[in-house]
Structures are given as C-alpha cells and as structure tokens.
Amino acid sequence: MRLLLISYYFPPCGGATVQRWLKWIPILVEQGFEITVLTTKDGDYPVYDDSLLAEIPQEVTVIRTKTFKFEKIWKIFSGNKKPIPYGNISQDKEQNLINRILIWIRLNLIIPDIRKFWNPSAIKKAIEYLRTTPVDFVITTGPPHSTHLIGLKLKNKFNIKWIADWRDPWTSIYYLQLNPPTFVSRYWHKSLETKVAQNADWNVVVSEHLASQLPTDKVSVIYSGYDEKKILPPKISKIKNGNEPFKLKFIGNITEGQRLDILIQIIAKAFPDEDIELSFIGTNLSEEYRNLLQNLLSGKFVCKNFVPHYVALKEMLDSQVLLLLINYYPGAEGMLTTKLFEYLASYNKILCLGPHNSEAEKLIYRYEAGKCFDINESEAAIEYLRNLYRLWQSGKPLKNEKDISELSAQNQVSRLIDLLYNLRN
C-alpha cells in the first residue's frame, strides 16, 4: 500500500511535533508500506534535532518545498530578544505594542494559522506527484491545521482517499481558549474545521475527547504510543545508590494554562531539607519561574533547554518521579501528549498536576502509574511525594509493575493498518 503523508513538521525539526509519525513510519515500512513524505524545507521549527534524521528509513521518500518563514519578521520586531511563539499565543503586558499587534493579526486575520503560507508550494508539489504516482491514501497531520486544507484541496481535485490526523484540537485548542479571537474569526475556524472533518474519508485523533468534539462520526482514536525499541527500562528496579539525590523531572515545554508555580511550591514544601534534584529538560523557563526556583529550591534544581530526543528518553529513565502538567482550559480533559506514553513506558512514578477527569489521569490510574492532583490538593500531593521519598530512602524500588505494552507504537500502528485496509476495501 502506498501512502503520501503531508506534514509541515518533519526532521530535522525536533520536539513533540514530529514524534507521532516518526514512531509510526518505520513500523509501517516494516509492514510493507511505501511511504512518501511531503514536508517543508527550513520551516519555522520550534527546535532542530538532527539526530532524528537517522530514524527515517531509507525506503521513505522525503520531498521538501520552501515556505515563508515568519520567524524573520518576528525577530525584526522583537529585536531578537524573544523566540517566535510555538503553541503559545498570548498577549501579555510585557510585550511591546508591535508584538501585541502581530499576535492580534495572527489570532484574527491569519486563519487557521501562520503555517498556511506553506500550502501553495505544498499543493503544487503534491499535484505534480499525484499526477505521476498513484497512492492509496493521502494523510495530512496537524497542527498546523492549515495542513488539512492541503488534503481538502487534493481530495476535491483527484477524489483520492484522504485521512486527516488530529494531534491536537482545532477550534478548542488551548491557546485559542485562553486568548479568544473575535466572533467572526471563531466562526471562520469552525467552518474550516467542519469542512475538513466531514470531507475527509476518515479522521484519526489522539484522544476520546477530541473524537467527541469533531463534527463527524467518521473518526477513530489511535494513541501515539511509545517506541518499545527505544525505551528499555532496567530489568532490575533502580533503588537508592550511595549519595545520589532523589530525582524529579519534567520533560518538555511549559505552555499556557499549566500551573508550574503550584508544582514548584508543592515540591519545595515536600522536601524542605532533603537531598533532591528537580530537573526541567527541554524547556526554556521564564525568568519568573527561575526566580521562584531560586527562592524556594536554591541549589536543588537543574534547567536544560532543548536536548535530542534520545537524551530526553535517558533522562526519563534516570529519575524517581516524572512530573506532568495538564493545562487549565476548557477541553483540557482531552489533552494527551506523546510524552505521557513515554513516561508510562519508563515505569517510573508519575505525579500529575491539573484538572481531574482528564484522559491523561485515566491512563495513569488504569496502569497504576502514579497519582493526579488538582491545584487545591497540595497537601495530598505533598504527602504522596513524601511517601515515595520514604520508600526510596528505605531502599525499596519505585518502579510500576502493570504491563502497558498495548500502548506501544507497534500495537497502535496495527490499529491504523487495520483501518487503512478496511477503508481501501
């Protein structure tokens, strides 16, 4: 079976944006699928991770087309002082007037997103490809959701089978919830979302909540999963070793609506004198958070900006507690990050801070992997951490025991393959 995957983000782009399909593609190739990826050349990427290029199977054809880079304009107006925002479109008082105007324009006039300027070159190249190379399916993955508009165009032109893959919500995505655009802009977003969802032959989503929000019944939930070939937890549970500190780690980006301030306070109160190490891996913490850490946990925290994915996996394994933050915004119950599946695969304890009844919470409890607390349950969270520390101090292992292999990317891709064959027939 031959697939054309269209994705704005693809290695050397790094970070969470590429992990879902980077896990799936090698498995599909092993199962005999022929895959061509249409992606950007030097796009506006949140981070670069050249190490991921080696994970693309040689059998995969990658076609890259140029795109307009908004980053250049952003740096001109921001004076190179602030990075271009990715998944964080906020208008705060610290921004100068020009930056606030740029963000207002982005929220209200550039619909659905700034990456839409790649679409003309991508559509042109996709049409050239499809005229000479028949495929069984075109698959578009978003965000950016403007990529789905490429699939819609190709569907109308060639009447090909098209699957829209939704890694995040569209109209209910958190930064639009926290920074609502005008009524007209919201209507425009909703109209495009409905057109995509209803015209796609099928929609694949990352969570049950997202499936329930799409205006269509042509939808399947397939988790991103974890790559069982990359995450190999020690066969023997790690216990306290000499003078090693008790390690708590947050892996990934801090985004709007997450209460990192509360989490830092919880950890500081749980361990006022103990030998701990709190690490933030792969995020550039604001000065405000760094000052809070310095005041409450001086000498007990480590901050590392972006690291290659394989390094992040090693950091996950080398910890006692992994920290997860769920955003406070309407629809947060459907938030499922790729990171969570890798957290689960590490078999380390998880402390999740966020609103209850999220799908992340349900998975954590289903696999007995940790505890989840709301921000008004600080005392319970503190006691949970204290109990874990006491167990670790006494030499007892903290590893989870419940099998999670059904969440592996290998098992999740098998569901995708079944779907593809059913739709083709």
Q: What is the DSSP string of 101-135?
A: HHHHHHHHTS-S-GGGGGHHHHHHHHHHHHHHS--
- Digit-by-digit pLDDT tens for the chain (425 residues) are 999 999 999 999 998 899 999 999 999 999 999 999 999 998 889 889 999 999 999 999 999 999 877 666 555 555 545 555 545 445 454 556 666 667 767 776 678 888 999 999 999 999 999 999 999 999 999 999 999 999 999 999 999 999 999 998 888 776 776 677 787 888 888 999 999 999 999 999 999 999 998 999 999 999 999 998 888 665 445 556 667 899 999 999 888 889 999 999 999 999 998 999 999 998 888 889 999 999 999 889 999 988 999 999 999 999 999 999 998 887 778 888 889 999 999 999 999 999 999 999 999 999 999 999 999 999 999 999 999 999 999 888 788 999 999 999 999 999 999 999 999 87
Q: Could you tell me which CATH number the domain at 2-67+115-225+408-424 has?
A: 3.40.50.2000
Torsion over CA of 69, 73, 74 and 78, rounded to 10 degrees? 150
Torsion over CA of 308, 223, 204 and 167, rounded to 10 degrees? -40
Interatomic CA distance for residues 28 and 24, integer angstroms = 6
pTM of the full structure? 0.89
Q: What is the CA radius of gyration of the chain?
A: 22
Interatomic CA distance for residues 315 and 157, integer angstroms = 47
Q: Would you state the pLDDT for residue 230?
A: 85
Say how many C-beta atoms besides its own lie within 10 A of residue 264's C-beta.
18
Interatomic CA distance for residues 368 and 318, integer angstroms = 20
**Helical packing angle, 309-317 and 338-346, nearest 10°:** 40
The domain segmentation of the chain, as residue ranges, is: 2-67+115-225+408-424, 246-393
CA atoms within 13 A on the CB side of 253: 16
**Helices H / strands E in the chain, number of each:** 15, 13
Q: Which listed CATH number (3.50.50.60, 3.40.50.2000, 2.30.30.20, 3.40.50.970) goes with 246-393?
A: 3.40.50.2000
Q: Would you state the pLDDT for residue 182?
A: 82
Interatomic CA distance for residues 368 and 365, integer angstroms = 5
**Shortest CA distance to 260 belongs to which of 327, 173, 317?**
327
- Taking the mean position of all CA atoms in its chain, how far away is CA 89? 16
**Shortest CA distance to 318 belongs to which of 290, 284, 351, 279?**
279
Interatomic CA distance for residues 190 and 167, integer angstroms = 17
Q: Would you state the pLDDT for residue 313?
A: 92
Amino acid at 70: F
Are domains 2-67+115-225+408-424 and 246-393 of this chain identical in fold? yes
Q: Would you state the pLDDT for residue 85?
A: 52
Say how many C-beta atoms besides its own lie within 10 A of residue 382's C-beta.
18
Cβ burial, residue 295 (10 Å; 0-12/13-18/19+):
exposed
Amino acid at 354: G
Q: Would you state the pLDDT for residue 178?
A: 67
Contact status, residue 197 vs residue 203, Cβ threshold 8 Å: yes
First-to-last C-alpha distance (Å) of the chain:
12
Coil, strand or helix at 391: helix
Q: Would you state the pLDDT for residue 240?
A: 63
Say how many C-beta atoms besides its own lie within 10 A of residue 158's C-beta.
16
